[in-house]
A and B are shown apart, each in its own frame.
Chain A
Amino acid sequence: MTNRKTWLYFIPYGLWLALFVIAPVGLIIYQSFFDLGHHFTVANYGTYFQSATYLKMTLNSVWYAFLITLFTVLISYPTAYFLHQLKHRQFWLLLVILPTWINILLKAYAFIGIFSQAGLANQFLTFIGIGPQQILFTNASFIFVATYIQIPFMILPIFNALDDLNPAFINASKDLGASAWQTFHRVIFPLTLPGVKAGVQAVFIPSLSLFMLTRLIGGNKVITLGTAIEEHFLTTMNWGMGSTIGVVLIVAMIIVMTLTGDQKPKGGTPR
Chain B
Amino acid sequence: MKRHLANTYLVLVFIILYAPILFLIVYSFSQGDTMTNYHGFTWRHYQTLFSDARMLAIVANTLLVALLSSLIATLIGTLGALSINRTTKRVTRESLLTLNNVLMVSPDVIIGASFLIFFTMLKIPLGFGSVLMSHIAFEIPIVVLMVLPRLREMSTSMLDAAQDLGATTRQLLSRVIIPFISPGIFAGFFMALTYSLDDFAVTFFVTGNGFSTLSVEIYSRARQGINLEINALSGVMFLFSLLLVGGYYWIQQASQKRKHRKREVVS
Residues of A within 8 A of B (CB): 2, 5-6, 9-10, 12-14, 16-17, 19-25, 27-28, 31, 75, 78-79, 82-83, 85-86, 92, 94-114, 116, 118-120, 123, 148, 151-152, 201, 205-206, 208-209, 211-212, 215-216, 225-226, 229-230, 233-234, 239, 242-243, 246, 249-250, 253, 257
- A103-B197 contact, Cβ under 8 Å, with A79-B10, A82-B9, A114-B20: yes
- Point out the residues of chain B lying under 8 angstroms from A257, CB to CB: 105
Q: Give Cα A43–Cα B34 distance, bound, in whole angstroms.
A: 49
Which B residue sits closest to A9, measured CB to CB?
Answer: B79
Q: Give Cα A22–Cα B219 distance, bound, in whole angstroms.
A: 30
- Point out the residues of chain B lying under 8 angstroms from A148, CB to CB: 16-17, 20
- A113-B114 contact, Cβ under 8 Å, with A102-B241, A103-B215, A233-B205: no
The winner among B10, B96, B169 for most chain A CB atoms within 10 A is B10
- Point out the residues of chain A lying under 8 angstroms from B201, CB to CB: 209, 211-212, 226
Q: Are A229 and B222 in contact (CB under 8 A)?
A: no
Decide yes or no whether B116 CB sits under 8 A from chain A: yes
- Point out the residues of chain B lying under 8 angstroms from A250, CB to CB: 106, 110
Q: Are A24 and B111 in contact (CB under 8 A)?
A: yes
Chain B facing A: main interface SS:
helix
* CB-CB nearest 5 A-B residue pairs: A113-B35, A13-B80, A24-B114, A209-B107, A20-B137
Tell me the minimal C-beta distance from A229 to chain B in angstroms.
Answer: 5
Tell me the minimal C-beta distance from A184 to chain B in angstroms.
Answer: 12
Decide yes or no whether B238 CB sits under 8 A from chain A: yes
Decide yes or no whether B160 CB sits under 8 A from chain A: no
Question: Which B residues from 51 to 98 make CB contacts under 8 A with A?
Answer: 75-77, 79-80, 82-83, 86, 96
Q: Are B249 and A211 in contact (CB under 8 A)?
A: no
Q: Are A113 and B241 in contact (CB under 8 A)?
A: no
Decide yes or no whether B261 CB sits under 8 A from chain A: no
Q: Which of A12, A31, A95, A101 contacts B117 (CB 8 A)?
A: A31
- A152-B17 contact, Cβ under 8 Å, with A209-B110, A226-B109, A239-B117: yes
Question: Which B residues from 1 to 54 make CB contacts under 8 A with A?
Answer: 6-7, 9-10, 13-14, 16-18, 20-21, 23-24, 27, 34-37
Question: Which B residues from 211 to 247 make CB contacts under 8 A with A?
Answer: 214-215, 218-219, 222-223, 225-226, 230, 233-234, 237-238, 241-242, 244-245
Q: Give Cα A106–Cα B200 distance, bound, in whole angstroms.
A: 11
Residues of B within 8 A of A (CB): 6-7, 9-10, 13-14, 16-18, 20-21, 23-24, 27, 34-37, 75-77, 79-80, 82-83, 86, 96, 99-100, 102-103, 105-118, 121, 133, 136-137, 140, 144, 169, 194, 197-198, 200-201, 204-205, 214-215, 218-219, 222-223, 225-226, 230, 233-234, 237-238, 241-242, 244-245, 249
- Point out the residues of chain B lying under 8 angstroms from A112, CB to CB: 222, 225-226
- Point out the residues of chain B lying under 8 angstroms from A31, CB to CB: 117
Q: Are B9 and A109 in contact (CB under 8 A)?
A: no
The winner among B20, B21, B169, B237 for most chain A CB atoms within 10 A is B20
- A106-B115 contact, Cβ under 8 Å, with A17-B99, A113-B226, A209-B108: no
Q: Are A233 and B113 in contact (CB under 8 A)?
A: yes
Q: Give Cα A116–Cα B200 distance, bound, in whole angstroms.
A: 23
- Point out the residues of chain A lying under 8 angstroms from B96, CB to CB: 17
- A107-B20 contact, Cβ under 8 Å, with A83-B10, A226-B107, A243-B113: yes
- Point out the residues of chain B lying under 8 angstroms from A23, CB to CB: 118
Q: Are B223 and A216 in contact (CB under 8 A)?
A: yes
Q: Are B113 and A229 in contact (CB under 8 A)?
A: yes
Q: Are B79 and A13 in contact (CB under 8 A)?
A: yes
Which B residue sits closest to A110, measured CB to CB?
Answer: B20
Tell me the minimal C-beta distance from A227 to chain B in angstroms.
Answer: 9
Tell me the minimal C-beta distance from B217 to chain A in angstroms.
Answer: 9
The winner among B9, B37, B197, B214 for most chain A CB atoms within 10 A is B9
A/B interface sample: 7 pairs, CB < 8 A: A24-B118, A105-B222, A109-B218, A113-B23, A230-B205, A234-B204, A253-B105
Q: Give Cα A83–Cα B137 distance, bound, in whole angstroms.
A: 35
Tell me the minimal C-beta distance from A158 to chain B in angstroms.
Answer: 13
Q: 14 extra interchain contacts, Cβ-Cβ under 8 A, other than A9-B82, A10-B83, A107-B21?
A: A12-B75, A16-B140, A17-B100, A20-B115, A109-B24, A109-B234, A110-B20, A112-B222, A114-B23, A201-B105, A212-B201, A216-B222, A229-B110, A234-B204
